[in-house]
């Protein structure tokens, strides 16, 4: 960065800071070494600020550093105490004023929020009243018919006992034929027939 660019960048950062609440006077001279070498000052006075490319003889403090370290401090990327500890920043004069300056430049005005538009209240759609379900008369139930009591079937008459038939009478014993005593005549006749029979057999 050139000297002119460093001054322009510092003006931009200071202009973006919220200085309205600051009351008092603070003047700091900035000495840039190396690239963009030169001196300029930042002055705060009751809520106003000025950045000019000159030395400020009636200053409160001098800050001396390279352009990269100074811009990092302005952007909040590096804290002044850290730069002091690393010998990247030299403070001549009131060190508290140097810290006060850095803290003031960090403050940014709160972004103004656009007033939220009130959503137009649309009239609520009228709901048709819910129709009550017509109560249907309960179907009358026919009284259950009592099952007609059937007369119990008559028990069949007890089987009649088979009439005991009288035992058949035993056949009368066969009467033995009466043996009649053979008479003398019959014997003679029998002997005669026997002889005839024998005689027939012989002749044959």
**Pairing outcome for strands 61-66 and 25-33:** parallel
Evaluate whether 29 touches 56 at the Cβ level (below 8 Å): yes
In degrees, to the nearest 5, what angle opens at C-alpha 166 toward C-alphas 160 and 171? 155
- CB atoms near residue 67 (< 10 Å): 20
**Number of residues that this document lists for the chain:** 204
| pLDDT (0 to 100) of residue 179 | 46
Evaluate whether 19 touches 47 at the Cβ level (below 8 Å): yes
| pLDDT (0 to 100) of residue 69 | 94
What residues does 30 pair with on adjacent strands?
A: 40, 63
Half-sphere exposure of 170 (CA within 13 A, CB side): 3
**DSSP SS3 for 138:** coil
| pLDDT (0 to 100) of residue 127 | 60
Say what the pTM is.
0.53
Evaluate whether 106 touches 76 at the Cβ level (below 8 Å): yes
Helical H runs in the chain? Answer: 3-16, 67-74, 80-85, 95-106, 184-203
In order of 49, 54, 61, 64, 105, the CA distances from 38 in angstroms are: 20, 9, 16, 10, 21
| pLDDT (0 to 100) of residue 5 | 95
10-residue mean pLDDT profile of the chain (204 residues): values are: 94 90 92 95 93 93 95 90 91 92 80 59 58 55 53 51 51 50 62 67 54
| pLDDT (0 to 100) of residue 108 | 73
pLDDT over 70 percentage in the chain: 54
What residues does 48 pair with on adjacent strands?
A: 45
């Amino acid at each position: 960065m050139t000297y002119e660019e460093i001054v322009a960048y510092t003006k931009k950062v200071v202009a973006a800071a919220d200085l309205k609440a600051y009351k008092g006077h603070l003047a700091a001279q900035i000495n840039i070494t190396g690239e963009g070498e030169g001196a300029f000052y930042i002055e705060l006075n009751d809520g106003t600020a000025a950045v000019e490319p000159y030395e400020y003889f009636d200053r409160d403090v001098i800050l001396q550093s390279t352009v990269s370290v100074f811009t990092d401090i302005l952007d909040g990327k590096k804290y002044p105490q850290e730069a002091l500890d690393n010998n990247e920043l030299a403070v001549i004069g009131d060190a508290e004023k140097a810290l006060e300056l850095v803290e003031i430049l960090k403050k940014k005005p709160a972004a103004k929020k656009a007033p939220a538009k009130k959503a137009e209240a649309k009239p609520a759609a009228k709901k048709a009243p819910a129709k009550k379900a017509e109560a249907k008369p309960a179907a009358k139930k026919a009284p259950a018919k009592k099952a007609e009591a059937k007369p119990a079937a008559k028990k069949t008459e007890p089987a009649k006992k088979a009439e005991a038939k009288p035992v058949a009478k035993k056949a009368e014993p066969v009467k033995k034929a009466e043996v009649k005593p053979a008479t003398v005549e019959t014997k003679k006749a029998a002997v005669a027939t026997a002889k005839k029979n024998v005689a027939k057999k012989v002749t044959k």
